[in-house]
Structure 1
Amino acid sequence: MPENITIRLLTTEDIPAVQTIAEVAWRAHYPGIISLEQIDYMLNWMYSTEQLGSDIQRGVKFIGLFSQGELSGFAAWELLDASIAYLHKLYLRPEAMGAGLGSQLISSVSLQAKAAGASMLKLAVNKENVKAIKAYERNGFVRLESVCNDIGNGFVMDDYVYSIALS
């Protein structure tokens, strides 16, 4: 694993860096999984400055992983109720993949969620996102169910829901 790794809570001041990583990661990874039109739609919907600011305001925790002082990836999670935390986002710069940084983000989210009282961490991942599915399963997540949610504009999120017990 790379040296000089730090993980810290992100703030609204970090929104431009989060947007940059999301843009680069999505455009590198999702073509062939979802259409370019859906990529544009979802980036505009989920990563607008207003939406990210609103997420932070309502309690979604964004954590950043810094390698050599540069933001290399981020995760976003929130406590849904007293016992369940939900991992909304986890993205790395393409050049940072394969070095265990995603596992470090998962570990950090798991520790924070457990400290907040959660006994389970859940997430949804696109059914065709084989690399992410393998990474989550390597980190102990277990598939719970299959869901398909209409997200508007003629698009759906066709996902598997995974969970892991926090012990």
Structure 2
Amino acid sequence: MELRRATATDVDAIREIAETSWRTDYPDILNREAIEDGIDEWYDPDRIQAELAEDDAVVLVAELDDEPVGFAHAIRQQRTGYILRVYVAPDARGRGVGSALLTSARDALLTRGVDDVRAMVLAGNEPGNAFYEEFGFEKVDEQETVIGGETYTEHVYQRTR
């Protein structure tokens, strides 16, 4: 497996990984319209390009056999790091890709001087919640997020250094 910073040539792969992940993981959590709207909003190619250019953003891609199979997107806001997304293509799961992406994104945030790292996961995403808990993140809050015009609860996890 190779982990590297994402580039403009990864935009389509990032969107495809997100789309297959959402369609696999969220059909019992989000309605079909919310999935479609969320993908169109969050993974619009221009938006991904803009995120790649942000100084405080960390966007990583994981490759297996020279093919992108996962990505992580994190940002630094003052002294707090936020892991916004960690997605692995369904057919590449169980091979340590998500673990490597999470660890690398967290480490990149820590080297940028953050005091703690937070992650948000939809409350209904049981595997996603368990994933962060396995890495020592503790649930510290709940908040609401809007996807496709619908409001959903998400858990906020935190891990200090």
TM norm. shorter chain > 0.5: yes
Query: Structure 2: which amino acid aligns with 1:75?
Result: A
1:11 aligns with 2:7: yes
Please show how residues 38-117 of structure 1 align to structure 2 within 5 Å: 38-59=34-55, 60-81=57-78, 83-117=79-113
Q: CA deviation at 1:54?
A: 1.9
1:85-131 deviation line (CA, Å, top 9, x unaligned): 11111100001112222111111011111111112111110000000
Helix, strand or coil for the counterpart of 1:161? strand
- Give the TM-score of the pair, scaled to structure 2: 0.94
Correspondence for 2:159: 164
Match of 1:148 in 2: 144
The residue that corresponds to 1:36 in the other structure is: 32
Normalised by the length of structure 1, the TM-score is 0.91
Aligned counterpart in structure 2 of residue 118 of structure 1, from 114, 122, 126 = 114
Give the secondary structure class of the aligned counterpart of 2:52: helix
Uncovered stretches (5+) of structure 1, i.e. residues with no partner: none
Q: Which amino acid aligns with 1:77?
A: A
Share of identical aligned residues, percent?
A: 25
8 Å CA contact 2:58, 2:108 repeated in 1: no
Amino acid at match of 1:50: D
The C-alpha deviation readout for 1:125-153, integer Å capped at 9, x for no partner, is 000000011111011110010111345x5
SS of residue in 2 equivalent to 1:163 = strand
Structure 1 vs Structure 2 CA RMSD? 1.3
Extract structure 1 runs of 4+ deviating beyond 4 A.
none
Count of residues paired in the alignment: 160
